Amino acid sequence: MNSVPLDNYISQAPAADPSKQAVVVGGGIVGTCCALNLQRSGFSVTLVDPAAPGDSTAKWSYGQISVGEIIPLSKPGILMKVPGWMMDQTGPLAMRPGALPGIIPWLLRFMACARHSRIDDIARSMATLTEHVFADYATLLDACDDKDLIRQRSVLQVFDGPKGIERERSHNELRQSLGFESRVLSAAEIGDLEPALAGHFSHGILLPQWRFVSDTEGFIAALTESF
């Protein structure tokens, strides 16, 4: 690694064939993975970033790899909650009143994506992006010393009553039809898996394929080091 006041860069010897040389600008998780895959394809790669390896916005994320979460947020049940969220400054869609006119075009497009046909199209497109993610990462992590950078951790979706689980039925069936695991849970099963939730929810969905990165900064730094 060479460093100067304005940037850091990592390079390998130039390839004899100029067409097999590449420069990747940005050493976050996307840039580093692009650089590694180019390198594995025989390219001589220079990776450029103004910060040290791992010091990117990704290190502040909570590191979830939500492979089976292919259903878009524009579900009819979510749309019904949007007006109330927009009125609640402590809710998940809080905004300044003056910002509302500017997001109306986006909101209309969001609502248009609530049609069943659009949800189906978006889910299928998302599935093609995520179905091989674990295998793709496994190939890159083979060169890293720490083999425990990505860990398995199932995720629970919970519902207060039967109406909630019924609204999710078609989405859950779509997820399963595209090859992603999920299992409907009873109140007792929820309590067995997570005692803190016992007695609070009547239905749930278990998504067992989720993974999480144990150290987001260290994860990117390890991939950069292998590069």
Question: pLDDT tens track of the chain, all 227 residues?
Answer: 333 334 566 766 666 677 899 999 999 999 999 999 999 999 999 999 998 888 888 778 888 888 888 999 888 777 778 778 877 888 887 778 788 888 889 888 988 898 889 999 999 999 999 989 888 888 888 888 887 888 888 899 999 999 889 989 999 999 999 999 999 999 999 999 999 999 999 999 999 999 898 888 999 999 999 89
Rg (the chain; Cα; Å) = 22
Q: Which of 206, 204, 153 is nearest to 183 (CA)?
A: 206
Which pLDDT score, from 0 to 100, does residue 66 have? 86
Which pLDDT score, from 0 to 100, does residue 5 have? 39
Which pLDDT score, from 0 to 100, does residue 9 have? 66
Structural domain spans, the chain = 1-65+132-149+214-227, 76-125, 154-209
Q: Which of 209, 212, 203, 206 is nearest to 156 (CA)?
A: 206
Taking the C-alpha atoms of residue 72 and residue 70, their distance in angstroms, rounded to an integer, is: 6
